[in-house]
Amino acid sequence: MTETGVREVAHVRAPGKINVSLAVGAVMDDGYHDVATTYQAVSLYEDIKAYHADDFSVSFTGPFDLSGVPLDASNLAIKAAQLLARTAKYRGGVRLEIEKNVPIAGGMGGGSADAAGTLVACDALWGTNLGKDALLALAAELGADVPFALTGGTAIGTGRGDRLSPVLTSHEHFEWVLVPADFGLSTPAVYGELDAHRERHIADIKPAPISPLVDTAVLQALRAGDPHMLAESLSNDLQAPALHLQPSLVKVLELGEKSGALAGIVSGSGPTLAFLAEDSESAIDLQVTLSAAGHRVLRVSGPVHGARLVND
C-alpha cells in the first residue's frame, strides 16, 4: 500500500484443477453439452500480478512454450479485467503479469485460473470490492471452469460446469502425480470426437442423457478420504476421444498404472494425465519412475483453496 492507501500491486494465486469425474451429456441444438463433473483444485498455481495502467495488457512467463498464448483482447485474463471494469464502471486499465505453472491447453483449467485470479486481483487493486457473489457471477460469464477456479476445494459442477455444489471431504489430502504433454488438445476437438464416436456407435451404446449425473461412488470416496475407493470410481467421458486423438498417451497411462498408481485418468479434455497415488511416499516413488522414463512429472495434492490474494 502507498501512503494514500492505494494498492500498487495485487498478487493472486489461483489453482489448476483435476476432473475426478466427468460425465458429458448429449450434444444439444446449440452445439454445447451439459456435464456433471467433480472438480478438485490441486496445488499447482497460476501467479497473477496486477498493476495500475491506462489500458489493458498481459504478459506471461513459465516453464511451457508460451508462443501460442494470445496477448490481445481474446485472452481470458484480459476479458476478465475488462468485464470487471465495465461492471464496476472503473475507467482505468491494468497490466497483468502471469507466471503460468498449469499446463497450457492441458485439461487443467489454467486459462480459467488466470481469469479467476484476474478478477480477484483487479477487484483488490482497483478497490471495487464487488464481493464474492458478484465475482462468481462474472466468472460464470467468462467460462464454465472459471467459477470453480474462484472457489477451489472440491465441488460438483453441473450445467456447463459452472453451477457449483461444494463436496465435503475428509481433512486428508489426495496425492496426485501429473504428466503434462508437450502438446495441447483443443477442448472443442475432443468434444467433437466424442460426438462422432457416439454417432458412429449409435446402434451399440445407450444414448447419452441430456442432463448427466455424478456417480454417488465418487462422492462417497471423497467424503471418506479414501484413495482406493476414489481410484475405483474415477471416470471421464472425454478420455476415450482424447486417447483416440493422441494415441501416444495410452502407453504413458499404462506405465503409470504398472508403476504403482492406484489409477490414472485424462484430466478434463486432456492431454495432461493424472495418476492417483496411495500416499505421499507412493507419489514420490511414482514421480521418480515416470521421470526416469523421460517424462516431465509434477507432484501435487488436493483439495486446495481457490483464487486468493497473496501478501508479498
Catalytic machinery residues: 17, 145
Q: How far is residue 128's CA from residue 209's CA, in Å, rounded to a whole number?
A: 42
> Can you read off the three cell numbers belonging to residue 299?
507432484
Which residue pairs, CB below 8 angstroms and at least 24 apart, start in 282-291?
Answer: 282/175, 283/175, 283/176, 283/177, 285/259, 285/260, 286/177, 286/256, 286/259, 286/260, 286/261, 287/177, 289/255, 289/259, 289/260, 290/177, 290/179, 290/252, 290/255, 290/256, 290/259
Closest CA relative to residue 193, chosen from 201, 182, 204, 183: 201
* 247 neighbors 241 (Cβ within 8 angstroms): no
Q: Following CA atoms 203, 208, 209, 210 in sequence, which dihedral angle do they give, to the nearest 10 degrees?
A: -110
* 80 neighbors 130 (Cβ within 8 angstroms): no
Q: How far is residue 139's CA from residue 130's CA, in Å, rounded to a whole number?
A: 12
Q: Following CA atoms 153, 157, 161, 163 in sequence, which dihedral angle do they give, to the nearest 10 degrees?
A: -100
Q: Helices (DSSP H) in the chain: which residue ranges?
A: 76-88, 110-126, 132-142, 146-151, 187-200, 216-224, 227-233, 239-245, 248-258, 280-292
Q: How far is residue 96's CA from residue 127's CA, in Å, rounded to a whole number?
A: 16
